[in-house]
Chain A
């Protein structure tokens, strides 16, 4: 039996769903916190938090899945340093996909606003209300997001490089078979 050349369907679904949600939550977060207080602002904050909690749930599933299903191998001709760089980037991405929503949840708790997922499921407050801690966690949330942005940019740059320079078609590992000739 030949080795798999693609990620599992589950891994693909989680990857693309999370990509979609991150590309919604990130600009929403940047946009909403500059807004003057209005019902729209309160709604956007809630949507942002709901997406964040969803992403936190999905990353947990994804990590569990990843531990049980090894990804398809990288092309043999790929230099070792690139394989190591790829592994490091992916591990950091996993770490940030946990840390970013967690820091948001903690910030919410510290600022005294409980997170209620979809307006229905209340999440426990992780820390007591504390103004200084809230400010510090807001900065942490922002800082982690900047790191995430850089890593996602690197991730995308690598896709472009592999697709158009190396032409090793590494992207197809994350695409459903139907899209391939």
Chain B
């Protein structure tokens, strides 16, 4: 691990956002419900992903951060697939023009998704040696 402070920071940020996302899913926030309804996974899928996010977030703040980062990356990849294939990628809300550049709820989700993905990938790479079984070969 070359820059431990950067890794710890990435773990902190990713863990926080992922845990918030998990809470929103369990609360049944309208945005989550709509998204999962569009994917045809409401409500079971929402709870499964919520559980995975909860687990990943806690792991990111624990000695199992490497595994947590891989799990987080996985969940975020799933989100990317969802946006790319079903939910669409609109960064701004329909009611505002591009010129105003205010982020829609969907846009905010995408921005945080990107941030978490970057952080999680960074943590997974910098802590790859700690992964069970395959850590030695990476």
Tell me, yes or no, whether A binds B.
no
Interface residues of A (CB under 8 A from B): none
Interface residues of B (CB under 8 A from A): none
